[in-house]
Structure 1
Amino acid sequence: MNYHQLYSTFNFKDKTIDNRFVVAPMTRISAEDDGRANVTMKKYYERYAKGGFSTVISEGIYPDDKNSQGYYNQPGLANGSHTESWKPVVDAVQDNGALFIAQIMHAGGQSQGNPYTNETIAPSAVAPKGEQLEFYGGEGSFPQPRAMTEEDINQTKEAFVQSCLRAKEAGFDGVELHGANGYLLDQFLTDYLNQRDDQYGGSVDNRLRLIVELIEDVREVVGNEYIVGIRISQAKVADGEHKWAGGEKEAEQIFTKLGVTSLDYIHVTDADGAQPSFGEETRTLAQAAKEFSHLPVIANGQLGDPEKAETVLNNNEADLISIGTGALANPDLPHKVKKGIKLEEFDFQNTLLPKAYVKEHELEKELTP
């Protein structure tokens, strides 16, 4: 099949990428104990750039040394040593032709591993549903978080801003604010987790207020030429079945509001990025984001099949496709698809250390004309 859309160019600001394949952000828990990036991470990210992905989005990076970290051995951008540790990783990705975007993530009440504190904070004193992820070192139910004060909110915004500045200093091509999957920004957006009665709670506009303020605060310090995106979802790590109470109408409110900010793109993730997200005969989440925001959209969710991904692009439901488990199994997926090489199935046992990127020489031999 001729995947014309997947292998077409796309412009991010003044940067032109040569295909629409994006590596999705995935929790890797392979940083140093103090949050510094390391050689393992360099090899991990570099492999995707060598494998033909035009854009790589990092795993969630915590922005401060207070309440933001979500997992032990999660990387940070909370201080100068973190910034310096990312520089060789960024260089390795960019030297191999890919854009590298840092995803900035505050775990909020969904944190399950933070060496800086035992306390979690959230919009309200409501524990996330579900259980912590044992695969990432968690155990049991989430504790009840402390409801954030106005001072906490201001400190959190400043932490995001400073972390984005550090990302720029480290050389990343842009930043993605993590407003999905049940982490802090999504907690503010979620009705049952946000029971505030101030300007940050209640209506959709109020629950979205922190995200909108944060986008503009970040834009002010990184400048107009720097890429700034956001990730949005309905489902959460601890509540995979969650849907917005207002359905497609609420999606219209959210994406319309985001569309008049200074964002450069919206990255949406769903269980299946090609299926209706609000019930039968409704839009996909990506389609809703694109139609209501009028911004470029990255679609995510079981889109590793190139025919399926090409269809999403052809239908104008998204502009780029981000791939998670398919990329773990095939860090060279864009090269393989182009050459007609069969894709490997995802193997859960190889999630933390995908065998493909440590056997780099074998793959390079296989792809040599």
Structure 2
Amino acid sequence: MTVTTTSASRAAQILSRPTTINGLTVPNRIAMAPMTRMFSPGGIPGEDVLSYYARRAAAGVGLIVTEGTYVGHDSAGESDRVPRFHGEEQLAGWAKVAEAVHAGGGTIVPQLWHIGMVRKPGRPPYADAPPVGPSGLRIGAEEATGKAMTQSDLDDVIGAFAQAAADAERIGFDGVEIHGAHGYLVDQFLWEGTNRRTDAYGGDPVARTKFAAEIVAAVREKVSASFPVIFRYSQWKQEAYDARLAETPEELDAILTPLAAAGVDAFHASTRRYWIPEFDGSDLNLAGWTKKLTGKPAITVGSVGLDGDFIGAFMGEGSTVKGFDDLLDRLERDEFDMVAVGRALLQDPEWAAKVLGDRVDELKPYDAASLKTLS
């Protein structure tokens, strides 16, 4: 344990401050990062899913970003146990989750997800649906193994995201997050490694943002003006950890500006370790650069509270509890606005309560071997 009494008290003070995203007031600076769990048979979140989120809201998490939920497009996913954000039973289940989170004092947004070319043919929930992407390419492949999306395909997916956002507002959620990270569909358009299109949706970095920006604009049109729209993005990809959308702040600005103009209210900048500077010559991390370039609220994420990145952890490498001083310094100087916590909060549902209550001496390191017993 490297967290001192002084930094513990400081963490409680700084992280407990409210913040706003568009019309939403979040009671503190702690967000729950989205983490896929596959505990929703038929894509329906049940009582165990409700309990999982409600427990963390009641323990002080200010903003819960749900695990990725498939939008209403047949090619969106590849598991019948990942929750869906379409269908009467599925949305009824999610409405109960939102109600329970609110009862615990938290706020909640669904992460809207389409996996694109990550999908393997023949998988559920719609076995006949082909993998689709900007060019039909999986990460690292030179030959197409899926369908390059037509304009009709693009319109269908854009409409699916927009409808999911409208449904989220209708059933009581506080906003939505669009999953544009980690090598899934939206990110496949953003990254030149998977986007080889020669039409208006491919080419330079700005052209490659067109699909994402159209999703954001369609979502913005379907929801009320004060309803928050968050966009999650990353440099790294699920199968290419060293991939980068932007090598310089100028290139990043070219990507983020169209998204902000389309209606993004906050950006969730996904990194493997939040304390790593994003570009040479500056200590700013990816979230810090995002806020500096767009002026929008930014959420940082990446091994918060732990000393190792999640990839190593899931391969069995241990983690110890990391101190908060650097994180708090960055929050105090407004480098970013919120901190998303993943593994540490998965390990310990009371993580936020312990940090906000000046009880960091009770925090536990992440142990992947114990995941099966966590809820």
**TM bucket normalised to smaller:** 0.7 to 0.9
Structure 2 equivalent of residue 124 of structure 1? 135
How far does residue 352 in structure 1 lie from its aligned partner after superposition? 4.8
- Unpaired segments of 5 or more residues in structure 2? 1-6, 306-321
How far does residue 261 in structure 1 lie from its aligned partner after superposition? 2.9
- Unpaired segments of 5 or more residues in structure 1? 131-141, 358-369
Structure 2 equivalent of residue 100 of structure 1? 108
Residue 311 (str. 1) matches residue 321 (str. 2): no
Which of 345, 348, 360 is the aligned partner of 2:368? 348
How far does residue 349 in structure 1 lie from its aligned partner after superposition? 2.3
Structure 2 equivalent of residue 25 of structure 1? 34
Residue 9 (str. 1) matches residue 29 (str. 2): no
Structure 1 equivalent of residue 234 of structure 2? 233
Determine if contact 2:57/2:105 at 8 Å carries over to the other structure.
yes
Structure 2 equivalent of residue 76 of structure 1? 84
Separation (CA, whole Å) in 1 of partners of 2:31 and 2:372? 19
Separation (CA, whole Å) in 1 of partners of 2:92 and 2:364? 35
Aligned length: 343
SS, match of residue 40 in structure 1: helix
Structure 1 equivalent of residue 207 of structure 2? 206
Determine if contact 1:257/1:293 at 8 Å carries over to the other structure.
no
- Aligned CA distance change for structure 1 residues 245 and 100 (closer, same or farther; 3 Å): closer
How far does residue 312 in structure 1 lie from its aligned partner after superposition? 2.3
SS, match of residue 60 in structure 1: strand
Residue 55 (str. 1) matches residue 74 (str. 2): no
Separation (CA, whole Å) in 2 of partners of 1:72 and 1:164? 21
TM-score, normalised via structure 1 length: 0.88
Q: Which amino acid aligns with 2:127?
A: T
How far does residue 199 in structure 1 lie from its aligned partner after superposition? 0.4
Determine if contact 1:201/1:207 at 8 Å carries over to the other structure.
yes
SS, match of residue 161 in structure 1: helix
Q: C-alpha deviations, 1:236-268, integer Å up to 9, x for none?
A: 112122122543321121123333232211001
Determine if contact 1:65/1:116 at 8 Å carries over to the other structure.
no
Structure 2 equivalent of residue 363 of structure 1? none
How far does residue 311 in structure 1 lie from its aligned partner after superposition? 2.3
Separation (CA, whole Å) in 2 of partners of 1:352 and 1:75? 18
SS, match of residue 235 in structure 2: strand
- Aligned CA distance change for structure 1 residues 86 and 352 (closer, same or farther; 3 Å): farther
Q: C-alpha deviations, 1:34-66, integer Å up to 9, x for none?
A: 211111111111111011111100011001141
Structure 1 equivalent of residue 264 of structure 2? 263
Determine if contact 2:95/2:171 at 8 Å carries over to the other structure.
yes
Structure 1 equivalent of residue 340 of structure 2? 322
How far does residue 320 in structure 1 lie from its aligned partner after superposition? 0.3
How far does residue 163 in structure 1 lie from its aligned partner after superposition? 1.2
Separation (CA, whole Å) in 2 of partners of 1:268 and 1:98? 21
Structure 1 equivalent of residue 319 of structure 2? none
- Aligned CA distance change for structure 1 residues 250 and 238 (closer, same or farther; 3 Å): same
| Identity of matched residues, % | 29
Separation (CA, whole Å) in 1 of partners of 2:112 and 2:14? 29
Determine if contact 2:188/2:195 at 8 Å carries over to the other structure.
yes
Deviates more, 1:270-279 or 1:73-82: 270-279
Determine if contact 1:181/1:237 at 8 Å carries over to the other structure.
yes
SS, match of residue 27 in structure 1: coil
Structure 2 equivalent of residue 367 of structure 1? none
Separation (CA, whole Å) in 2 of partners of 1:49 and 1:259? 29
Q: Which amino acid aligns with 2:358?
A: K
